[in-house]
Amino acid sequence: MSEIPSPSPDAPPVVHAHDERVLLSELRNTVAAMSRRGGERGTGGADRSYGGGVESSGPKEAGPAACAGPAPSAGPAPSTGPVQGLYGPADLAGLDARIAGCRACPRLVAWREEVAVTKRAAFADQTYWGRPVPGFGPADASLLVVGLAPAAHGGNRTGRMFTGDRSGDVLYAALHDVGLASQGTSVSADDGLELYGVRVTSPVHCAPPANKPTPQERDTCRPWLVRELELLRPTLRAAVVLGAFGWQAALPAFAEAGWTVPRPRPTFAHGARVTLGRRPEPERTDADADTGTRTSTEASTNTGTDSDPVSAYPPEPASASASASVELFGCFHVSQRNTFTGRLTPEMLREVLSAAAESAGLTPRSPRG
């Protein structure tokens, strides 16, 4: 099991854009429970968009950044390094909160926060998110879209994947065209956009300089993607990977999350399609089920500590072991370089999304010309 990086004690408190008062109450209760047992777990609840961001001088835009009530306590002070032996947050809401507090890559932290302060002139009156951008979409998604990394003035500004930049305009327009999104635009975290059976994520959650994360940064961020795949596996049936970088990052993450990647490892191409089978998982004994302990295979990859024992976490749901294979689809990235030059057209993107949706058991609309 990969080591999940810890959030920094200096990270700003994370709140959602909707139902803030309810969520803050949930967070306070969770932090209190965390403090009592010396471990850290994520909060439950429905999928929501995040708000808040890096503060800077100058006027600030009202909206997601303005949360109701005081910020919750940060709880026990974590480190900026990886967590040894931590199985991971128990749900996607908890995972998203953990991701948003990560400071594991100094170069990315420095860049995302510098951009959030200096800003682009067109957004000078807005408060940038300036933190890692969590995935976006329902927790029971059967289709996953994997990108590259947030854009400096897109997701790093708005706090939502592919939101507020031209790449997102292309992606969400196509998702809407095939019936997988409620609207074809994505301008802010509180614009009402909903995804139907689809979740959008990336192998790197921080905006990188020149849109180019290093291999080390990609590998450091991989545990987040692995855990996201583990949490999605009861329902996940297909994935669309945008670009060669995402493809190279996604394959080992799928392998670590329990799927079988063919050998030799498939190469990226637009329109590529690969079946990733599920590896059989060890059966639990009645004693395991009664005590909540993990099997020997799980214990070997998820060894706990005295203050954070693995046995303190509930076993994975039974439905997780019954998860099916995943169809992996390759697609050129929705970057401006690809879309402006015609390397990737809206028709090409819709065709891949439609094929992936059908494979995932969703019912897409026919792509229009």
Cα separations in angstroms, 360 against 258, 281, 327, 334, 351: 18, 22, 8, 21, 14
Q: Can you give the pLDDT at residue 131?
A: 97
Tell me the pLDDT of the chain (369 aa) as tens digits: 556 655 454 544 433 333 334 433 443 443 344 333 333 333 333 333 334 455 443 333 333 232 222 232 333 333 344 433 334 678 999 999 999 999 999 999 999 999 999 999 999 999 999 999 999 999 999 999 999 999 999 999 999 999 999 999 999 999 999 999 999 999 999 999 999 999 999 999 999 999 999 999 999 999 999 999 999 999 999 999 999 999 999 999 999 999 999 999 999 999 999 999 988 765 555 554 444 433 333 433 333 333 332 222 333 443 444 458 999 999 999 999 999 999 999 999 999 999 999 999 999 887 654
- Between CA 201 and CA 236 the distance in angstroms is 13
Please check whether residue 222 is in contact with residue 300, taking contact to mean a CB–CB distance below 8 angstroms.
no
pTM for this entry: 0.71
Report all structural domains of the chain as residue ranges with CATH numbers, in order of start: 4-77+92-359 (3.40.470.10)
Measuring CA to CA, which residue among 176, 63, 183, 169 is closest to residue 123? Answer: 63
What pLDDT sits at residue 311?
A: 29
Would you state the structure tokens that stand for residue 305, as one six-digit string? 């500590």
